[in-house]
Amino acid sequence: MALLVKKFGGTSVADIDRIRNVARRVVADYDQGHDVVVILSAMAGVTDGLIRLAREVTEFPDKRELDVLLATGEQTTAALLAMLLKSMNYPAESLLGFQAEVRTDAAFGNARILDIGAHRIRELLNARHIVVVAGFQGCDAKGNITTLGRGGSDTSAVAIAASLSADACEIFTDVDGVYTADPNVCSKARKLPRISYDEMLEMSSLGAKVLQIRSVEFAKKYNVPVHVRSSFSEEEGTMVVNADADMEKIVVTGVTSNKNEARITLKAVPDQPGIAAKIMTPIGEAGIIVDMIIQNPHSGGKTDLTFTVPKADYREALKIAERVGKEIDAEEVIGDEKIAKVSVTGVGMRSHHGVAARMFSTLAKENINIMMITTSEIRISCVIEEKYAELAVRALHSAFGLDGKNSDE
């Protein structure tokens, strides 16, 4: 008999009918003799609603208290499912993050899982209980409640699967797998039967929110095969696994876009050693993560320095850039929130050339200007105007042969 970890996302537990659907799926496995651990998200929209409530109290809610509040979303669904299972005469018990011994650092709102004790989970499984764990939450060394960042229930599930050496970790969501592009943006996107951890890592970090990036990091580190599938059908979804030779043949497996970044440019700063450090040091000290950085020569021995930051940190980063800009005599500091990053990903890029050229010419054909470019071994990203994001995804999806059936270029 197998040990199964099954995670259901927000839309899968959006109301009581859907929670009944989850219960049906869970007991079907239990009745076959499997051990089942269920990880739940909050009902769709609840986490956003709680954040809005907190902002009605104060513009910058205390991060510790915000986590206490946000964790209630998952507490609600875990209790409801366990209650329902018990009413159906199944032995079940709900556990909050701290009861499942999900130990994290103290970075409220974005905590990292350090380790998982899972003694209680094991005890309950040994007694043939269905264990329902509230996702997205853990607790720090002092016993404070922490949350794992948006989309964090995926990470709860994979981390718990790893700590239990589960036979399978299934992520149930509102799409039936991982697609070559967001199926809600690109109607020609195709479901991938399999994707490698590395490709999924890139796609998650570039905007494919179907799996939180940290869940993929965990899966890769502990070799947990993850099955992404639909809550609403029995169809097989996508397996996220180690790369194999077949995967290397496909040059581009996915196209993503991300509107979560903003761009800041310091114009005409002195082209001298130490200038980039002067700008980036206070940004880093403020805990702001810089993604892309480029420097372009300006006339008269000066240079333009441009970088991107998460939109959530944009105002603060701009304030810092304006202050430093004055100190180093920059001509102007410009901010731009209306940008998008579009990317193509594929492990096959390691051994193929011409991908960048094809990406640039595709964007040029659509008259889309490229503002910044970055690459990794298995990815190329371009920053473009936000309004062209969807058009760019669809054009690149076609250009790399991902549309329809004849895709394995």
136 binds, among Mg ion, ligand ASP, ligand ADP, none (CB under 5 to 8 A by kind): ligand ASP
For Cα atoms 151, 154, 156, give the angle at the middle one, nearest 5 degrees.
110
- The count of C-alpha atoms lying within 13 angstroms of the C-alpha of 256, restricted to the half-sphere facing its C-beta, is 25
Nearer to Mg ion, 14 or 283 (CB): 14
* Number of residue whose CB is nearest Mg ion: 151
Q: Provide the token pair at 305.
A: 């320095």
Query: Smallest distance, Å, CB 28 to ligand ASP?
Result: 24
Residues sharing a CB contact under 8 Å with residue 117, sequence separation 6 or more, in sequence order: 100, 101, 103
Q: Applying CB under 6 A, which of residues 4, 26, 37, 41 lies at the interface with ligand ADP? A: 41
Nearer to ligand ADP, 138 or 151 (CB): 151
Interface mask (CB under 6 A) for ligand ADP, residues 168-207, using x and -? -----xxx--xx-xxxx------------------x----
Distance CA 352, CA 407 (A): 16
* Number of residue whose CB is nearest ligand ADP: 9
Q: By CB under 5 A, name the binding residues for Mg ion.
A: 9, 151
Nearer to Mg ion, 151 or 254 (CB): 151
Q: Is 11 in the site for ligand ADP (CB under 6 A)?
A: yes
Our measurement of the distance from residue 291's CA atom to the centroid of its chain's CA atoms, rounded to an integer in Å, reads 15
Burial of residue 324, with CB atoms counted within 10 A of its CB: 0-12 exposed, 13-18 middle, 19 or more buried: buried
Query: Smallest distance, Å, CB 42 to ligand ASP?
Result: 4
CB 87 within 8 A of CB 29: no
For Cα atoms 232, 217, 67, give the angle at the middle one, nearest 5 degrees.
75
CB atoms within 10 A of CB 28: 12
Nearer to ligand ADP, 102 or 178 (CB): 178
DSSP notation for 37-87: EEEEPPPTTHHHHHHHHHHHH-SS--HHHHHHHHHHHHHHHHHHHHHHHHH
73 binds, among ligand ASP, ligand ADP, Mg ion, none (CB under 5 to 8 A by kind): ligand ASP
CB 385 within 8 A of CB 340: yes
Nearer to ligand ASP, 35 or 182 (CB): 182
Angle at which helix 153-164 crosses helix 213-222, to 10 degrees, equals 10
205 binds, among Mg ion, ligand ADP, ligand ASP, none (CB under 5 to 8 A by kind): none
Nearer to ligand ADP, 254 or 348 (CB): 254
Q: By CB under 6 A, name the binding residues for ligand ASP.
A: 9-10, 41-42, 47, 73, 135-136, 150-154
Nearer to Mg ion, 9 or 73 (CB): 9
DSSP state of 386: G
CB 91 within 8 A of CB 125: no
Query: Smallest distance, Å, CB 255 to ligand ADP?
Result: 8
Query: Smallest distance, Å, CB 173 to ligand ADP?
Result: 3
Q: Is 93 in the site for ligand ADP (CB under 6 A)?
A: no
Q: Is 22 in the site for ligand ADP (CB under 6 A)?
A: no
Nearer to ligand ASP, 151 or 237 (CB): 151
Q: Applying CB under 6 A, which of residues 209, 278, 352, 358 lies at the interface with ligand ADP? A: 209
Q: Is 151 in the site for ligand ADP (CB under 6 A)?
A: yes
The partner residues of 343 in beta bridges, in order of sequence, read 256, 381
The partner residues of 230 in beta bridges, in order of sequence, read 173
42 binds, among ligand ASP, Mg ion, ligand ADP, none (CB under 5 to 8 A by kind): ligand ASP
What percent of the chain is helix, strand and coil (3-state, nearest 5)?
40, 25, 35
Binding site residues, ligand ADP, CB under 6 A: 9-12, 41, 151, 173-175, 178-179, 181-184, 203, 208-210, 254
